[in-house]
Chain A
Amino acid sequence: MTAIASNGAAEHPICLTLNGQPRTLQVHPWVTLLDLLREQLDLIGTKKGCDHGQCGACTVLRDGKRVNACLTLAIMCDGADLVTIEGLASGDDLHPMQRAFITHDAFQCGYCTPGQICSAVGLVHEGRADTREAIREQMSGNLCRCGAYGNIVAAVEEALPSMTNGAKAQRGQHP
């Protein structure tokens, strides 16, 4: 069933899983996933930086893979399993990557941090980074204007082996 908005344009229903919860939503075709999260669902952990896929601040996990929410149309997320920064921790128990970012002081202003952490979790899933150099290359889609790169790489490096082991132990629970 398609609802008609006041401007005459059709909204479409989408069903998705958001941070573990099934959701049914009505969206206009031109609404990006980033705007849906921030403006309609009040999940403002995901940040709007450039809004053009260049900075990575809007990175979320879609079916376990890191993507730019700003270039994703919400209407194309029907059936998707989405995890944002709000969905990584289990209650007060932080995700290992979140803990590693705190341990290594891997941020200054913190604006890019949710995207950095989601991207780093995606990097671990991909399983293609095994050196510091590879982490640097594979984190290049996330800019940090404070320049906290050294500590970010150190945090990802520390979280990498523990998460690879942890992912085996608790597959399906955490992204």
Chain B
Amino acid sequence: MTPFSYHKPASVSEAVNLADACSHFIAGGTNLVDLMKENVVRPARLIDISGLGLNGIHATPGGGVLIGARVSNADLAWHPLIERHYPLLSDAVLAGASPQLRNMASTGGNLLQRTRCYYFYDTGTPCNKREPGSGCPARTGMNRIHAILGASDACVATHPSDMCVALAALEAVVHVQGPSGERQIPFADFHRLPADTPERDNNLAFDELVTGIELPPPVFEHHYRYLKIRDRASYAFALVSVAAALTFDGEVIQQARLALGGVAHKPWRDPVVERLLAGQVPSKALFNRAAQTLLQGAQPLSHNGFKVTLAQRAIVRALDDAARGAANGGARP
């Protein structure tokens, strides 16, 4: 690890005023410390945010929930408000990492974790995300785990999070504070596609700190499914994951949310597909059509063509499970 200085501010405003282009905030550190050991990230200063509070989960006046940025993955997944009202989020969090990492890793940090692309991690190879302009060996190299949607010539990395796929489907809002004040970022606008600036994963400025994640009032308590497909049964990143959430008016789907993980630089949603599902009675044919539409623009690489079929099948299964209330152990009310 390259030496760095350490700072532990006592307030959010002190923290953001300490930040500069050579500093990093640290919460759980599960990804950042690893990246520092690999010399992928070499901050001159670490700003420890563990003295800032930001570790509560509270109901909001509007009927939603505000999750502090420092809440651990485990505390989030097992919080009564989340388990009862946002079970899709609980399931997604518990599908990720290991129990040890979930005890350490924070909610805000989950959004900011970096891709697990082999080339990004290997400082002996070029990587446009790590060293802009150096090239992307993944495009023609070992790209089995890489993106099939929204990639660019510069970068084919995927976002590795499970939590974020659920947060995208639930239309969470990211609360952020910088030196000039607070702002709120809709989840869909938080992460970026790589385009020609793959070094930027998201739209945060270096001196902006994620302070919390707000969930809108719950409507997907009954019909939801987080389905994760990976190379082993536990403790592996998703090859493909699906967050599906539905509401019903009788037999008819009223509202649908569908987000994919493991396939793009950010959780992948398409409003067209969600509108296609709304107003329809669930059927295999309908779900197949949704799956095909969502994958329409897929551009697989040399080793990940299987992801297109896998994603389509996973979508159909997740939607079917969600419609049946399978994760909830029950039939449609």
Q: Which A residues have a C-beta under 8 Å from some C-beta of B? A: 7, 9-10, 12, 28-30, 32, 51-53, 56, 59, 62, 65-68, 71-73, 75-76, 119, 122-123, 126, 128, 136-142
Contact = CB atoms under 8 A, between A and B. Distances in A.
Nearest to A139: B99
A29 B5 contact: yes
Contacts of A52: 34, 37
A56 B5 contact: no
Nearest to A27: B6
B3 interface: yes
Contacts of B98: 53, 56, 140-142
B234 A73 contact: no
A56 B100 contact: yes
Given A76-B26, A126-B74, A66 B103 contact: yes
B120 to A, nearest CB: 14
Given A29-B46, A67-B104, A75 B99 contact: no
Contacts of B104: 67-68, 71-72
B50 A76 contact: yes
Interface of B: 1-6, 26, 29-30, 33-34, 36-37, 46, 48, 50, 74, 78, 97-101, 103-104, 233-235
Nearest to A115: B100
Contact of A71 (B3, B33, B50): B33
B100 A12 contact: no
Contacts of A128: 78
Given A73-B29, A137-B234, A29 B101 contact: no
A33 to B, nearest CB: 10
A30 B46 CA distance: 10
5 contacts: A52-B34, A53-B101, A71-B34, A76-B50, A119-B100
Nearest to B98: A141
B234 A140 contact: yes
A142 B2 CA distance: 28
A124 to B, nearest CB: 12
Contacts of B100: 53, 56, 59, 66-68, 119, 122, 141
Contacts of A7: 3
Contacts of A29: 3-6, 46
A112 to B, nearest CB: 13
A79 to B, nearest CB: 10
Contacts of B33: 32, 71-73
Given A53-B34, A53-B101, A66-B103, 11 more contacts: A30-B3, A52-B34, A59-B100, A66-B100, A71-B34, A75-B48, A126-B99, A128-B78, A140-B99, A141-B98, A142-B98
A65 B30 contact: no
Contacts of B48: 75-76
Contacts of B4: 29-30
B5 A10 contact: yes
Given A66-B99, A66-B100, A126-B99, A141 B235 contact: yes
Contacts of B29: 71-73, 76
A158 B98 CA distance: 22
Contacts of A71: 29-30, 33-34, 101, 104
Greatest chain A CB density within 10 A among B1, B78, B100, B234 is at B100
Nearest to A79: B50
A62 B50 CA distance: 15
Contacts of A75: 6, 48
A29 B74 CA distance: 26
Contacts of A28: 3
Nearest to A138: B99
Contacts of A12: 6
Nearest to A140: B234
A66 B50 CA distance: 18
B101 A68 contact: yes
A149 to B, nearest CB: 12
A68 B235 CA distance: 14
Contacts of B233: 137, 140
Contacts of B235: 140-141
Nearest to A9: B3
Given A28-B3, A140-B235, A119 B34 contact: no
A119 to B, nearest CB: 7
B45 to A, nearest CB: 9
A2 B98 CA distance: 36
Contacts of A72: 29, 33, 104
